Amino acid sequence: MAGAAHCSLQAKRLLLDPKFEGYKLSLEPLACYQLGLDAAVAEVQLRDDQYTLDHMRAFGMYNYLHLDSWYQDNVYYVDQFGRVMNLSVTLDTALQKPREVFRLPTDLTACDNRLCASMHFSSSTWVTLSDGTGRLYLIKSGKRGSSASEKWEIVFNEELGSPFILAHSVSFVKSDAHSLAVLVLRVEKDELDTKGSGFHVTLEWLTIAERKEGDHRYEIVKRRILQGKSVPHYAAIEPSGDGLMIVSHKPFTYMQSESDKLEENDDAKVSNEKKDPLYYWQQTQDDVTITVHLPQDITKDDIKIRFSPDNIWVTLKDQPPLMEGKLYSSVDHESCTWIIREDKSLEISLIKKNEGCQWPELIIGDTRGEFIMDPSQCSEIAESLMHLTSEVMNPNPEKENPPCNAQELEECDAFLEDGASLCRFDGDTLKVTHIINLGSNQYLFSVVVNPREMPCFCLRHDVDALLWQPHSDQPENMWEHIATFNALGYVQASKQDKKFMACAPDYSYAALCECLRRVFIYRQPTPLATVLYNRKEGRQVGQVAKQLVATLESTDPILGFQATSERLFVLTTKTLFLIKVNSGN
């Protein structure tokens, strides 16, 4: 994690409601429609050798219902005959039976160690599909959700080794060639792990590109493997294919191939030969100062420097650029200056646009410079950490009011995973560029708000649940707080039997379901049509947030759960339920 920028999530105060009074149980009936399935869902039970918590999280709690975010109210599942079945809803009162759009070529029952089939919608016309036996399919689907134009056609399929499930995929164009980046997840036996569970989790990141011969065939051009000791809560590739974000309890690291290690060793030897830094830099809260020692024959006319809000370019005489590249953060380029000092050194002053932001590096990816910390900064940091240390072990055990009393914590405040973190990996180096320690911000669920962006993730902040949208193309606003579900963090903690959580892409409600039958819906506060008074405080209440409960007419376990702006889709072994939550505009 060395060199990674340590960031934090900044909640928007305007999206928080400190006066939220809680949810009122509403008895209003919810329209619930059900469709019997021609064949049962292709559920795969955990085997005896899949006994760890990671196996349960990855495969036992798998969501068998797949929402196509590119088309409204369009869901898919795989049945026991290997058929990919689709339900596209336009009118609740005129529901059609789920229809077959594709059939897996392999016999699923023939593989003893298979996992559940999985799919992901990479774009409006591309689908990635795994049969659970270790084979990956790239499918060109045409425009989905319409029987007239939807035709699933295999463009690429290849055996990738041991069985896996699909975690995420994106479709993009780079260097005039169409590519797909696919993330697959495995839980594998770890012979070296004698003290832990005996398993590790791998994320394999594949890039599959169209061949340059122009025959419209695709091939794997890049395979990278990251390894960790816990199933990630969230793992998604950036839309451009240039990076990867992971939320996990335990960190993931890039597993280098032998050729990569040899290249890195060669680079290390070369870098060791260049002992003296090319430049030195210091920073304060407001500015950055760069010092370059100039050769004797360089004059002021030989120096050319260009500043832009995000870049710097420095060259001496007709030599290659001395400094060139993207700055860690934006600067006020019109206020940046440079001078030649008496000791024949060049001094460049950059004015930070975001005051107070500490830069971990000057030019992104440039290791030729050396950062010099001011002694006063060292003492400030030491002083700010002083209160966390003591020379005496447990200096005041008899203190009347200890800073924390574990007995005062409620059960729902105790998190199993205090060490969770959010990491961004660079696509080229596979090194961590940004890291956020989530601490007690418990991960709740993810949702696709805009299919052209990365999936959002929802975290518990105190009692609320906050929704965050990653923006990989906005370094200054990489994680944006876009919505708040009041008190949902507290409410969900009391639901001991919850299996899935979701929310509407328009944030109008959040929902969770238990393993059997019950579905809880939490609407956002809405204005009241009638006058309501709070008797205790003697004031009028302007809006109210409602909790609704639906009970499914089925004793089969819930296998899939998806939310759209209007409906909830709930999948059991033999039935697909539709719960109308909001009426269409």
Per residue in 301-324, pLDDT (tens digit) is 888 899 999 999 898 887 888 888
At 392 the pLDDT is 58
Q: Lowest-confidence range among 151-165, 232-246, 529-543?
A: 529-543
Specify whether 251 is located in the same domain as 283: no
Confidence of residue 416 (pLDDT cuts 50, 70, 90): very low
At 222 the pLDDT is 93
Confidence of residue 367 (pLDDT cuts 50, 70, 90): confident
Residue where one domain finishes, among candidates 335, 352, 367: 367
Specify whether 428 is located in the same domain as 479: yes
Residue where one domain finishes, among candidates 367, 400, 431: 367
261 occurs within a structural domain: no
At 289 the pLDDT is 92
Is pLDDT above 70 for 412? Answer: no
Is pLDDT above 50 for 561? Answer: yes
- Interval 94-114 mean pLDDT: 85
- Residue 331, judged by CB atoms within 10 A of its CB (0-12, 13-18, 19+), counts as buried
Specify whether 305 is located in the same domain as 447: no
392 occurs within a structural domain: no
**Which of 296-310, 368-382, 408-422 is modeled with the greatest confidence?**
296-310
At 414 the pLDDT is 46
Confidence of residue 403 (pLDDT cuts 50, 70, 90): low
Confidence of residue 538 (pLDDT cuts 50, 70, 90): low
Per residue in 439-494, pLDDT (tens digit) is 889 999 999 999 999 999 999 999 999 999 999 998 888 999 999 999 999 999 99
Tokens of 317: 């005489």
- Interval 39-58 mean pLDDT: 93
- Strands ordered across the beta sheet of 323-326: 303-307, 311-316, 323-326
58 occurs within a structural domain: yes
266 occurs within a structural domain: no
- From 31, 36, 32, select the one nearest 573 (Cα to Cα): 36
510 occurs within a structural domain: yes
Write down the mean pLDDT value for the chain. Answer: 87
Domain count, the chain: 2
Confidence of residue 275 (pLDDT cuts 50, 70, 90): low
Specify whether 221 is located in the same domain as 80: yes
- From 112, 109, 123, 117, select the one nearest 136 (Cα to Cα): 117
- Interval 128-157 mean pLDDT: 90
Whether residue 305 contacts residue 292, with contact meaning beta carbons closer than 8 Å, is answered with: no
Is pLDDT above 80 for 273? Answer: no
At 393 the pLDDT is 53
Whether residue 515 contacts residue 557, with contact meaning beta carbons closer than 8 Å, is answered with: yes
Specify whether 431 is located in the same domain as 513: yes
Specify whether 191 is located in the same domain as 65: yes
Share of the chain above pLDDT 70, in %: 86
At 486 the pLDDT is 96
Q: Long-range pairs for 372-380 at CB < 8 Å and ≥24 separation? A: 372/280, 372/281, 372/282, 373/282, 374/282, 374/284
Q: How many CB atoms lie within 10 A of CB 422?
A: 25
- Interval 263-292 mean pLDDT: 74
CATH of residue 316's domain is 2.60.40.790
The residue to which tokens 């007709």 are assigned: 318
Specify whether 11 is located in the same domain as 129: yes
458 occurs within a structural domain: yes
Specify whether 249 is located in the same domain as 286: no
497 occurs within a structural domain: yes
At 476 the pLDDT is 84
> Which is more confident, 168 or 526?
168
Residue where one domain finishes, among candidates 327, 342, 367: 367
Specify whether 286 is located in the same domain as 248: no
374 occurs within a structural domain: no
Confidence of residue 498 (pLDDT cuts 50, 70, 90): very high
- Interval 38-42 mean pLDDT: 95
What CA–CA distances, in Å, run from 301 to 138, 294, 320?
58, 13, 16
Q: Lowest-confidence range among 220-224, 397-401, 544-548, 550-554?
A: 397-401
Specify whether 77 is located in the same domain as 217: yes
At 32 the pLDDT is 95
The helices-and-strands tally (H runs, E runs) of the chain is 4, 40
Specify whether 244 is located in the same domain as 292: no
Is pLDDT above 50 for 40? Answer: yes
Domain that holds residue 110: 5-255+417-580
Specify whether 196 is located in the same domain as 242: yes
CATH of residue 229's domain is 2.130.10.10
Confidence of residue 415 (pLDDT cuts 50, 70, 90): very low
Length of the chain: 585
